[in-house]
């Protein structure tokens, strides 16, 4: 026997139902901090340095993200090797 249940709710309602905390204020502050720090960035190297400092796993996180983007681009027919 197979039973399927569809629940129509917002992400906030789902978090409340599952007892998860509302992290919206933390997320908003993080995004505001990142955007404020990118103001005045003059070149790609400065932007990459800032991005690495905000990434959760540092350089390893950036490399993982780049690999995922390359895999996605190659799946779409792009080369993924272009810089």
At 17-63, the pLDDT tens digits run: 889 998 889 989 988 887 887 777 777 777 777 777 766 666 777 77
- d(CA 55, CA 49) in angstroms, rounded, equals 10
- Is position 5 within any domain? no
- Is position 46 within any domain? yes
Give me the half-sphere count of Cα atoms (radius 13 Å) on the Cβ side of residue 26: 3
- Is position 26 within any domain? yes
> Phi first, then psi: what are they for 51, rounded to 5°?
-60, -40
Q: How many domains does the chain have?
A: 1
- Is position 80 within any domain? no
Q: How many helices (H) and strands (E) does the chain have?
A: 4, 0
For residue 71, pLDDT over 70 is answered with yes
Range of the domain at 62: 11-75
């Amino acid at each position: 026997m197979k039973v399927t249940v569809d629940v129509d709710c917002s992400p906030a309602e789902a978090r409340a139902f599952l007892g998860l905390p509302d992290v919206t204020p933390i997320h908003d502050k993080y995004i505001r901090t990142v955007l404020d720090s990118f103001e005045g960035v003059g070149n790609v190297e400065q932007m990459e340095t800032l991005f690495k400092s905000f990434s959760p796993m540092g350089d390893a996180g950036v490399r993982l993200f780049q690999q995922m983007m390359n895999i996605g681009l190659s799946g779409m027919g792009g080369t993924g090797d272009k810089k």
